[in-house]
Structure 1
Amino acid sequence: MRNYIQNGDNITVDSPADVLSGAGVIIGNLFGLANGDAQTGKPVVLSTVGVFDLPKTTANDITVGAALYWNDTAKEVTTTASGNTKIGVAIAAKSGAGTVATRLNGTF
């Protein structure tokens, strides 16, 4: 196919801010996890699909299959849609503080 570019699991973009490896990065409606450290304006590879442990808000009890959103101010996962970016679904239940196993969905 002549118009194929890549599969999209990992994409390279210019970092909108200084980021550390594993950090969530939002550019418009694009969300991914940085594969390495990057400075503002420098290339960073983002994972846009896969399953990752992500920090979660302590305010939410998360159930398997719950839609998850990224709160870019707090840099954590939440079940609150308003003002946040949809990133995927939970593949494990989690209450309280810590991380939640999150399946990223690169199509949002």
Structure 2
Amino acid sequence: MKNYVKEGDRTTYTNSTGTDIKSGDPVVIGSTIGVACVDIANGASGAVALEGVYTLPKTAGSSGHAIAQGDIMLFDISAGEFDIKTATDAAGDILGGCIADSAALTTDTTVNVRLCGPGAIQTGA
């Protein structure tokens, strides 16, 4: 094909967040959540995975919720953590775009997240 560019499981991301991103960190690109494949210094570019299942930070304790396999995830952009879709959202949080690949308890600090496309940027409750 003359119009083929590349496989779509990764993209090159330029970090303009003001802080360094570590390999394995969630990365928000518009309304899509990816995972950094490498360390990406502020101002530098690096690979971000857009597909797959990753163990990522989860809101735990009294602020978090139990998560069932298949639950739609909410990414709390300020905390850098995932919770269930019914959690209270804030402006900039991403709803959807990820589902829980396995269950997690309220007290768990991580959850296995399946990246599955763009979500919806929230305006806040």
Q: TM-score under structure 2 normalisation?
A: 0.78
Paired residue for 2:76, among 71, 74, 96? 71
Shift in Å, 1:93 = 0.8
Bigger CA radius of gyration: 2
The one-letter code of the counterpart of 2:97 is I
Alpha carbons of structure 1 residues 82 and 3: separation in structure 2 relative to 1, 3 Å = farther
Determine what percentage of the aligned residue pairs are the same residue.
31
Q: Which residue of 2 is the match for residue 10 of structure 1?
A: 10
CA deviation map 1:33-84 (0-9, x unaligned): 1111111221111011101111101111100110012111101111137332
Quick check: 2:36–2:47 contact (8 Å CA) kept in 1?
yes
Q: TM-score under structure 1 normalisation?
A: 0.89
Q: Which residue of 1 is the match for residue 100 of structure 2?
A: 90
Quick check: 2:53–2:113 contact (8 Å CA) kept in 1?
yes
Structure 2 residues without counterparts, runs of 5 or longer: 120-125
Alpha carbons of structure 1 residues 69 and 16: separation in structure 2 relative to 1, 3 Å = farther
Structure 1 residues without counterparts, runs of 5 or longer: none
Q: Secondary structure at the match of 2:13?
A: strand
